[in-house]
Amino acid sequence: MALSVGLDIGTHHVRAIALRGNRIVAHAVVSRRAEDGTERPLATVVAELAESVPLARTGAVASSDLDVLARFLHVAPLPPSRLERIIRLELSPDEGPPPCLDAVRLAIDGDDLCYLGLVVDTGAVRLLQSELARAGVRPRTISWGPMALAAAASRVPLEGDQLALVIDIGAAGTDVALVGEGRLLACRRLAIGGEHFTQLLVDTGLTPAEAERAKRASAPILPAPAEPVLPLPRSEPPSAPSAPLAPEPALDAVLSLDDGFGELDQPPAAPAPAIEAQPELELELDDAQPKAPGVATMKMASLTLGPQLTRAAEGFYGQLATTLAFFKAQLKRSELVPAKVLICGGGAGLAALEPYLARRFQAAVTRFDPCAGLEGAPEREPWLWARAYGLALAASGADVPRIDLRPEADLRREVWRARLIWPWVAAACLLAAGAIAALALTEQIERDDIEAGLLENAVEEHKRLSAELAALEAERDAAREDLRAVAGRIHAARDLLYTVRALKEQTRESKELWVTSLQTVGVGRDDSEAPVPTAGNRLTGGSRTAVTRKDSLIDRGAVDIGGRVRFDARKTDPEMVAFSERYQQKLAEWAMPEGGKLFRDVILTNRKVERGSGTAGTADGGEFVFKFRCFFPLTSLGDVPTAATAQPAASATPSATAQSPAVEKP
């Protein structure tokens, strides 16, 4: 929880309380007077006080040196903006510099609103701020003594409609606050204080120091008065004896005297009739002046206060009674009787004043301890800390009456800094973000335009290069086809020669076979034009599709070999099939002189058996027509030069070989 500090600047002392929640962290008091009685600078006193209490973050300050004007304002219910303007207009002077002002709403009955307006000179506030700044203190709020007293009185326990009158008796003035249960009804500052009591004693010939000691002494002071103090005897019939005060049992003998006589030592002539005891004085608040005290009150005061202090106490009570009558008129109440009267401040130390005010108010009067029950509360004379505690309580943010009498410029600056600046900062950030986003978007658009131009150029370049590539590929394909054609023709001549040689070699072993046709198929053809069949079932003449050629291979084509086989002796079908398969196998396994098979596959494409008579009709012979397709191996383009250079040798091979014997007719 945050630390809140209240700084109470009185006439003779400066007090400070540091409050954190319900715990008093620190409290201290420093005198404003030096040992010789001279007044010390306020900045020096506050700096000395700051050594005991952390005043750097002082929440609220109230000073008795500020002359604050208080006005009760009755206005009709209006919107807050209009209401604020009307109150400001009512409190502002017609001419001169604008003062420091503020207003707090009071709790009254009826439809109208009642505000307590406060006005103080701006120069006096600036002087106070400068003195505090010299001590390193910059308060967040400048309050008023009676308002601080009302904040402290918010802890007074009350029930229902009960009211409490809280009186802070200072040296030069008295703060008065009338409060209810959690609400402020009225407050005021009176121009009478403890110095008024002291001055009456000084007028008797005492020095100020002696008068101060005599004022606080418990024994009565009875210097010889120059004039009678007691009132003259009244002609009214004597009243019943006053009831004795319970708190003062030692004064029972004095309080039992009849107030109808002016002599203290003269007993009544006859006993008074037995009637019901009545209060000594009923305060008629409608009257401008309170009624005079009775003889019993004056006798008690003469024994406890003395003549001079009795006169001062009666004058003090008269101003309090007038203040209550003023509050009653302003609050528009038919009656205003406080259930409790609490006194505090330096004047509360006058012991005999408490019972005197109790008799005059006809109500319980007690010393007010604002810090009762709090941890770290002052133990000695706690009634002196009411205003300091009220300031700390108001600075803590509690729901208590509070005002701020700082200059308007300071308030605007704080509002600007604490409330209004952040929306502007947010707006500025939004504008900056918008500007940055716009710049980024513009830069992105420029980059996109540049990239679009580069892309168009790249597309055009791609199209141009694609066209060049297509032309080059066309040239390559044409060159490759030409190379295939040349290489195919080179291989075709050699392959044909080797084929003839292979057939001639087979005639020596198969004299029944007559080759009647030899035809090349697809020599120099591109493999991509048609699938290359491979060997299937030789008996059924089936075929299968070869693996697709690569661009680097040349299909050397095939050769169709057709002929007829005639047998003189009768052959069974299996024998003829076996003969055909042996011949086919020989062709498939025939190897070239330089190595490697001549054919990569040999396929039987046609076979037809015909039955007939053999030679001289001795036996039934037979013949069948056959046709084989022999496929040459595929050749890589890289082997073309080698194949080309090897072509003459391959061509010469058949001629160099010995002539095979002629094929005889079976």
What integer pLDDT is reported at residue 520 of this predicted model?
A: 80
What the block records as the tokens of 234 is 């009244």
Q: Which residues pair with 636 in a beta bridge?
A: 553
What integer pLDDT is reported at residue 281 of this predicted model?
A: 35
Handedness of CA 49, 53, 56, 59 (dihedral sign): negative
What the block records as the tokens of 228 is 């009678």
DSSP conformation class of 572: -
What integer pLDDT is reported at residue 547 of this predicted model?
A: 43
Of residues 309, 308, 310, the one with CA closest to residue 298: 310
Nearest-angstrom CA–CA distance, 522 and 527: 10
State the amino acid at position 167 in one-letter form: I
Nearest-angstrom CA–CA distance, 251 and 422: 67
What integer pLDDT is reported at residue 270 of this predicted model?
A: 39
**Dihedral angle, C-alpha 471, 477, 478, 481, nearest 10 °:** 180
Segment 512-548, tens digit of pLDDT: 777 778 888 876 554 444 444 444 433 334 444 444 4
What the block records as the tokens of 409 is 């410029």
What integer pLDDT is reported at residue 250 of this predicted model?
A: 36
Q: How many CA atoms lie within 13 A of 27 on its CB side?
A: 25
What integer pLDDT is reported at residue 625 of this predicted model?
A: 80
Q: Residues 10, 49: contact at Cβ < 8 Å? A: no
- The owner of tokens 């210097």 is 223
In this structure, what are the phi and psi dihedrals at residue 38, rounded to the nearest 5 degrees? Answer: -75, 150
Of residues 344, 255, 355, 348, the one with CA closest to residue 305: 355
Q: Which stretches does DSSP call E strand in 261-408?
A: 340-344, 364-367
Query: DSSP alpha helices (H): ranges in 280-407?
Result: 295-304, 307-331, 353-361, 386-395
Of residues 418, 627, 654, 641, the one with CA closest to residue 514: 627
Domain ranges of the chain: 157-266+281-367, 482-656
In a 3-state reduction of DSSP, which class is residue 566?
strand
Which stretches of the chain score pLDDT less than 50? 218-287, 526-550, 613-620, 642-666
What integer pLDDT is reported at residue 187 of this predicted model?
A: 93
Nearest-angstrom CA–CA distance, 662 and 658: 12
Tell the CATH superfamily of the 157-266+281-367 domain.
ATPase, nucleotide binding domain (3.30.420.40)
Nearest-angstrom CA–CA distance, 45 and 64: 15
What integer pLDDT is reported at residue 488 of this predicted model?
A: 72
Segment 466-488, tens digit of pLDDT: 999 999 999 988 888 887 777 77
Give the predicted TM-score (pTM) of the model.
Answer: 0.58
Q: Residues 40, 34: contact at Cβ < 8 Å? A: yes
What integer pLDDT is reported at residue 619 of this predicted model?
A: 40
Nearest-angstrom CA–CA distance, 127 and 122: 9
Packing angle, helices 640-656 and 421-507, rounded to 10:
10
What integer pLDDT is reported at residue 551 of this predicted model?
A: 56
What integer pLDDT is reported at residue 552 of this predicted model?
A: 64
Packing angle, helices 573-589 and 421-507, rounded to 10:
120
What integer pLDDT is reported at residue 219 of this predicted model?
A: 46
Q: Residues 599, 445: contact at Cβ < 8 Å? A: no
Question: How many CB atoms neighbour CB 370 within 10 A?
Answer: 28
What the block records as the tokens of 43 is 């900045």
Produce one character per residue of 47-73: b if its CB has 16 or more CB atoms within 10 Å, e if not: bebbeebebeebbbbbbbebebebebb
What the block records as the tokens of 94 is 């017609």
- The owner of tokens 């109500």 is 363
Nearest-angstrom CA–CA distance, 229 and 292: 13
Q: Residues 87, 78: contact at Cβ < 8 Å? A: no
